[in-house]
């Protein structure tokens, strides 16, 4: 994606009762993503081996009842504090990139009172003259809902695993 300003960006934070290391391990465990990511139908790694810079994943989520398939590539992997990635939505059929649309996201973990503070950020980027126009409010609200639900889901999962 280009380094142009995002069409929109959302950020949310959540206190976790897990350490940054414990939480970071869950962020990188593709087999556990369905336990905390809202609407995730499936996720598959693009290659074997440990997650790190250049690692890829293809996944599908249900967003307001619509299947959204995408690929993700890790761009920064600094356990236990920072993961950054690019996300490329796929066109219907799920094999070709959706022209003009992309996203970047990150998870940042910091030690906090008896646990960790997790901050997630998502940026939607549009190219080729695409604009959100009147849909911006709806898209922002959906991204915010999804981000908050994911963070709450991860908090619940870390609580379950600690019990």
Q: Which residue has the higher pLDDT, 86 or 95?
A: 86
Domain that holds residue 58: 10-162
Nearest to 152 by CA among 19, 43, 36, 27: 36
Measure the CA–CA gap between 101 and 98, rounded to whole angstroms: 6
Token reading at 144: 């915010």
Of the pLDDT bands very low, low, confident and very high (cuts 50, 70, 90), residue 162 is confident
Q: How large a percentage of the chain has pLDDT more than 70?
A: 97
- Total of domains in the chain: 1
At residue 2, the pLDDT reads 45
47 in any annotated domain: yes
Cβ neighbour number for residue 10 with a 10 Å cutoff = 21
**Which pTM does this prediction carry?**
0.90
Residue 147 lies in a domain: yes
Band of the pLDDT at 3, cuts 50, 70, 90? low
The owner of tokens 């695409």 is 130
Asked if the structure places residue 96 within a domain, the reply is yes
How many whole angstroms separate alpha carbon 7 and alpha carbon 126?
A: 6
pLDDT at 107 over 90: yes
Query: 93, exposed or middle or buried, with CB in 10 Å at 0-12, 13-18, 19+?
Result: exposed
Q: Does a structural domain hold residue 4? A: no
Report whether 18 contacts 158 (CB < 8 A). Answer: yes
Dihedral sign (CA 62, 75, 147, 31): positive
Lowest pLDDT segment from 32-36, 49-53, 103-107, 108-112: 49-53
- The yes-or-no verdict on residue 76 having pLDDT over 90 is yes
Here the CATH number for the domain that contains residue 82 is: 3.30.530.20
Handedness of CA 89, 139, 53, 155 (dihedral sign): negative
In a domain? residue 70 = yes
Asked if residue 131 belongs to a domain, the reply is yes
In this predicted structure, the answer to whether residue 1 has a pLDDT above a threshold of 60 is: no
Q: How does pLDDT run across 23-73, given as a tens digit for each residue?
A: 999 999 999 999 999 999 999 999 998 899 999 999 999 877 888 899 999
* Exposed e or buried b per residue across 112-131, where buried means at least 16 C-beta atoms within 10 angstroms of its C-beta: eeebbbbebbbbbbbeeeee
Residue 3 domain-assigned? no
Cα gap 159→79, rounded to integer Å: 20
């Amino acid at each position: 994606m280009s380094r142009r300003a995002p069409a929109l960006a959302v950020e949310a934070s959540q206190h976790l009762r897990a350490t940054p290391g414990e939480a970071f391990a869950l962020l990188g465990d593709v087999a556990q993503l369905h336990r905390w990511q809202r609407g995730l139908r499936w996720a598959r790694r693009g290659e074997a081996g440990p997650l790190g810079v250049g690692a890829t994943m293809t996944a599908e989520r249900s967003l307001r009842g619509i299947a959204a398939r995408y690929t993700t590539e890790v761009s920064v992997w600094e356990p236990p504090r920072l993961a950054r990635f690019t996300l490329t939505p796929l066109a219907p059929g799920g094999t070709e990139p959706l022209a003009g649309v992309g996203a970047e996201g990150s998870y940042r973990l910091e030690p906090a009172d008896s646990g960790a503070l997790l901050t997630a950020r998502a940026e939607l980027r549009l190219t080729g003259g695409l604009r959100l126009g009147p849909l911006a409010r709806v898209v922002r609200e959906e991204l915010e809902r999804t981000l908050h639900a994911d963070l709450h889901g991860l908090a619940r999962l870390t609580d379950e695993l600690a019990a």
